[in-house]
Amino acid sequence: MLEVRDISVAYGAIKALHGVSLSVAKGEIVTLIGCNGAGKSTTLRAISGLVRPGSGDILYEGRTLRGVAPHEIVRLGLAHSPEGRGVFPNMTVSENLDLGAYARKRSEHAQIREDREKALDLFPRLRERLKQSAGTLSGGEQQMLAMARALLARPRLLLLDEPSLGLAPQIVQLIFRIIREINAAGTTILLVEQNAHMALQVANRAYVLEVGRVVMSGDAKELARTDEVRKAYLGHG
């Protein structure tokens, strides 16, 4: 479904990615783990068009995403819930959700309303807060809003950037349960996480990123058993 081929990204003189390749098949949950600054977010930003790779190519459902603007990539069925959640604090929860469906046509009105109901069923807490401005939500609620909003684009592939960041363990459990549910309902997921423990539990396959390179990849459960991953990412001395 998604194929990232040997992409390099530089911010000015600083190279963030040195030839990263990865692939995501339909129906999978694939996770990208690694430390701060390993290039996880940059990889997602390159996929959704926010940064342009200097070299390499990104193929989504067989077509290249090179030179395609971010707002057009959304239209292709690829939604990105960004790092730091990116909710619009001055707008209400309801308006934030409407923005998620911005790329969709007016003729899809009925379908959008249905998707909105589904998203709110998934995150019932948001339903209670529809008229509240998003800036007043708790961190966990903002994360729920960011995910619900991304779902309103009706993505076939959902990119999630650090959904567990800064959340209480209980909320993290809840968020990961919902990630599974979203996947079970037919959405493919590429998940970036620092919480390797949770990410490896939920994912089918995983890539380990270190300073802009993929250093390991494979089945998530198997990777979780390797010494390198256990030591570096799971905190087992």
Work out how close the CB of 50 gets to other proteins at its nearest, in angstroms, rounded to a whole number.
5
d(CA 214, CA 113): 40
116 binds other proteins (CB under 8 A): no
* 125 makes contact with other proteins (CB under 8 A): no
Q: Which of 50, 178, 216, 234 binds other proteins (CB under 8 A)?
A: 50
Among 3, 59, 70, 127, binds other proteins (CB under 8 A): 70
Residue 64: partners with Cβ closer than 8 Å, 6 or more residues away: 57, 58
Sheet-wide strand order for 14-24: 14-24, 2-11, 55-60, 63-64
- Is residue 69 within the footprint of other proteins (CB under 8 A)? yes
Which lies closer to other proteins via its Cβ, residue 130 or residue 216? 130
Rule CB under 8 A: say whether 107 interacts with other proteins: no
Q: Does 10 bind other proteins (CB under 8 A)?
A: no
Binding residue (CB under 8 A) for other proteins from 153, 198, 224, 229: 153
Applying CB under 8 A, the residues found at the interface with other proteins are 48-50, 69-71, 74-75, 79-80, 82, 86, 88-91, 95, 98-100, 102-104, 149, 153
